[in-house]
Amino acid sequence: MVYAILPGEQEGEFWFSTDYGLYRLDADFNYKQYSIESGLQESEFNTNSCYKSESGKLYFGGINGITAFYPSQIEKEEDKPLPYISVLSINGNVKERYIASGTAPTYTLAYDENVIQLRLLARGLRSPRSYNFQYKVAGLHEEWINLGPNMDIQLQLNPGRYTIYYHIADSFEPQAEARYSLQLRIKPPLYKRWWFVTVLALIPLSFVYYLLKIRRKRQALKLAYALELEHKLHEDRMRISRDLHDNIGAQMATVKRGINFILDQGDRLTDDQTKNKMRDLEMISTQINQELRDTIWAVQQDQIDVAGFITRLKNYIFQLLGPDNPCRVYYEEHGDMHRLLGPFVGLNLHRICQEVFNNILKHAEATGIRIVIDSRDSFLKIKISDNGKGFDPEQITEGYGLGNIRKRAEQIGAEVYFNRLADVGSSIEIMINKPFTQITDKKGKDGKD
């Protein structure tokens, strides 16, 4: 609604007071609105309340008073609006107010803070809604998005880095310079972050590396053990060879002397003397044969475990007693029977047990023999007891073979204990501390890898 009209300073120029402020109309019929930002009243004017002075100054009266101005001064004012962000909201919650256009702040947000609201404003000579607003997001928009007089921007963004450019002008400017901006960094969720993915990828790689390392370590241990075992077997075989030379060699020499004696003194010996001498030679030969078999058994075995030693001992006892012998043998086994003994230890234990059985059968008159074998981590104990007539270890002589038993026990680091009871049977205990080869330490308590 027009309230009053006054001519301007130029020909064909007129000024109007309206209910939306002052308007200027030039000779080319172009009009322009002036608002309160220009220092003029915006509303509301009085009807026919106007005056032009001789100096060319225009007066318009309104409810807020009189507005007086020179048209040339108003015309020379240039409107250069400055844009700014009045409100930044994240997921409906205000995060920042009044972000100046001369700054380009950066905001770091969580992955779920992805609904962005911006309200733009302009500082100029006119009302904010008389300007045109536009924006674009680098990487998302190639061209400016025209908002017109709408000042609100709403975005829903995925995790990433964004630069939001905004611009304000009298009208939409498709070629406007991207000058004013706001930067956002929306972090991805934990499972999408590079360091988390890297750590997640390194876990199986580390596990594979650990397995390869364990495998190489096991291979090195196996190689070291194989070399150590070979060295130990070599030492055991050398000791068995010395034992073979010392014992069987001496027995063979005895047989040879006996044969030479019979050949040299045969004319002077009676038939009974000759037979007795031959029986002694036969008994020694049988003993030599048995020891040779035991020695071959020990040498042929790379390792002898407790179970193999027991099986060898049972076979010997079975052959020694025969099917018709009234004596009965009972066995008890405790602990781990798969512990490994060296060949030298196994051979000497076997010969000690042979000597004990021969003594029981010859002198104890027993009808029952009990063998208890206890195989533990740090010791091996063998107890052999009978229900025979018993003996006193302090009263017996070495002719019973006890000296041979003590000698062999000493060679393998074993201790031998005899009971002191008489007339109630006898018993012998062979105790060896840490008799097992080092393979038990490398395999563990259960003998497994």
pLDDT digits (tens, 9 = 90+) for 8-66: 988 899 999 988 788 889 888 888 877 665 667 766 888 999 999 999 999 999 888 88
What does pTM read for this prediction?
0.42
Residue range of the domain that includes 6: 2-76
Whether residues 274 and 351 share a domain: the answer is no
Give SS3 for 295: helix
Which two structure tokens, joined as six digits, stand for 3?
A: 């309230």
Any alpha helices (H) in 62-110, and if so which ranges?
A: 71-76
Give SS3 for 309: helix
Is residue 199 assigned to a domain?
no
Q: What is the mean pLDDT of residues 315-340?
A: 86
Let me know: does 220 contact 226? Beta carbons within 8 Å.
no
Q: What is the mean pLDDT of residues 310-318?
A: 87
pLDDT of residue 119: 93
Whether residues 175 and 53 share a domain: the answer is no
Whether the link from the prior residue into 394 is cis, omega within 30° of 0, is no
Give SS3 for 331: strand
Whether residues 444 and 416 share a domain: the answer is yes
Mean pLDDT value across the chain: 82
Q: Which of residues 244, 267, 289 is at a domain's end?
A: 289
Whether residues 137 and 185 share a domain: the answer is yes
pLDDT of residue 107: 92
Gap between the Cα atoms of 69 and 21, Å rounded: 14
pLDDT of residue 442: 41
3-state helix, strand, coil split of the chain in percent (to 5) is 40, 30, 30
Residue 440 has pLDDT above 60, yes or no: no
Gap between the Cα atoms of 349 and 331, Å rounded: 16
Is residue 204 assigned to a domain?
no
Whether residues 272 and 131 share a domain: the answer is no
What total of structural domains would you count in the chain? 4
Q: What is the DSSP letter of 254?
A: H
Let me know: does 169 contact 130? Beta carbons within 8 Å.
no
pLDDT of residue 115: 93
Whether residues 56 and 87 share a domain: the answer is no
Q: Which of residues 131, 164, 192 is at a domain's end?
A: 192
DSSP letter string, 256-267: HHHHHHHHHHTT
Is residue 32 assigned to a domain?
yes
